[in-house]
Structure 1
Amino acid sequence: MKVILLERLEGRGALGDVVTVKDGFARNYLLPRSKALRATSANLKVFEGQRADIEARNAKAKEAAGAAGEALDGTAYILIRQAGESGQLYGSVSGRDVADMINADGGKVDRSMVILDKPIKTLGVHPIKVKLHAEVTVTVNINIARSQDEAERQARGENVITSQFEEEQRLDAEAAADLLEGGAGSQESFDRDDA
């Protein structure tokens, strides 16, 4: 189906372009959300008559998104979740979770604006793209941790899973060395008790 774009669509075209898209994409997404018009001669005339208004509205929306993006770009949020020893979350963090965190902090983001290729399933600091407008995209950092202390350590750049593993190895090595040096449960202590 041929449509006239009413805003810039990434990978499709710019405002005012006549493009061919799949029928389902046009009927289910572009037309109901007023992102495009069917490319008929009547709609082309209507679009040309309203082009200046549409461009002005788009420029105003882009400017508002840019101002909101300046405040949002580079901000960091902490999300406390339960996770296993290997750092795998017991659930996942979705676009809705990210949007809820931003909105709770005073931002205005819809979950459809959050761009996640796949749900986040591990602890750590994850950069997330938020598309505020067709031409305005910002990045926020989500720090997913099991506790506030762990989140602070991750924010400093520490890999808490690796450091936890190294700490356990160090403690195991100390326990083994203690056992070899005649610590609790050594053979000498049993021999004295028997005598």
Structure 2
Amino acid sequence: MDVILLERIAKLGQMGETVKVRDGFARNYLLPQGKALRANDANKKRFETERATLEARNLERKSEAQKVADVLGGKSFVVVRAAGETGQLYGSVAARDIIDALAAAGFNIGRNQVDLNNPIKTIGLHDVTLHLHSEVEITIQLNVARSADEAERQLKGETLTSADAIYGVDEDALRPEDFFDPDADGDSDEE
């Protein structure tokens, strides 16, 4: 299906371009969301008459998104979750949790603006990309920890999932011989 784009869409095209897309993508996403029009003569004329208002509206949305990006860019947000000693979370941190952390800090971001392909399942510092506008994207840092104190230690650069941090043992000093006896299988060299 040929459609006329009403805004810039990543990996597809710029505003005003006529592009060919799959029918399902057009019917289920582009057309209902108001991101495109079917490419027929009537809609082409309609787009040309409304082009100035569409460009002005797009520019206004972009400037608002850029203001939010300037404030949000490079910030770090803490999410506290229960985790095992190895740093594996008992649950996971999904886009919904990121939105809640941002809302607690006073930022209103939509769930579809969070680019998180897989949920976060370990403690540590994670970079998350936010698409505030089709032309404005930023990266924030998500600090997933078991407690606020642990989050501060992670920011200082401490590793909290290694044997040293958990057990107070130097990982480099650990050797396999320290944990098992090669003669423990019952075979003895003595007869």
| Band of TM-score, shorter chain | 0.7 to 0.9
Kindly state the Cα deviation for residue 53 of structure 1 after the two structures are TM-superposed: 0.8
Q: Which residue of 1 aligns with 2:73?
A: 73
For residues 62-99 of structure 1, the C-alpha deviation after alignment (integer angstroms, 9 at most, x for no partner) is: 01100111011111111110011111101111111101
Q: Decide whether the 8 Å contact of 2:85 with 2:166 is kept in 1.
A: no
Q: Which residue of 1 aligns with 2:19?
A: 19
TM-score with structure 2 length normalisation? 0.86
How many aligned residue pairs are there? Answer: 172
Kindly state the Cα deviation for residue 166 of structure 1 after the two structures are TM-superposed: 5.7
* Bigger Rg, structure 1 or 2: 1
Q: Which residue of 2 aligns with 1:2?
A: 2
Give the percent of matched residue pairs that are identical in Structure 1 and Structure 2.
49
Is 1:95 aligned with 2:123?
no
- Matches for 1:20-35 after TM superposition, within 5 Å: 20-35=20-35
**Residue aligned with 1:78, SS:** strand
Kindly state the Cα deviation for residue 59 of structure 1 after the two structures are TM-superposed: 0.6
Stretches (4+) displaced over 4 A: none
For residues 122-173 of structure 1, the C-alpha deviation after alignment (integer angstroms, 9 at most, x for no partner) is: 0001010000000000111110001111111101111111232461459xx9
Is 1:160 aligned with 2:157?
no
**Residue aligned with 1:161, SS:** coil
Alignment partners' CA distance in 2, 1:160 and 1:59: 45
**Residue aligned with 1:26, SS:** helix
**Residue aligned with 1:58, SS:** helix
Q: Which residue of 2 aligns with 1:176?
A: none
Alignment partners' CA distance in 1, 2:148 and 2:67: 31
Q: Which residue of 1 aligns with 2:142?
A: 142
Alignment partners' CA distance in 2, 1:151 and 1:103: 19
TM-score with structure 1 length normalisation? 0.84
**Residue aligned with 1:137, SS:** strand
Alignment partners' CA distance in 1, 2:170 and 2:132: 46
5+ residue gaps, structure 1, are 174-195
Alignment partners' CA distance in 2, 1:6 and 1:103: 29
Q: Decide whether the 8 Å contact of 2:103 with 2:109 is kept in 1.
A: yes
**Paired AA for residue 167 in structure 1:** G
**Residue aligned with 1:66, SS:** helix
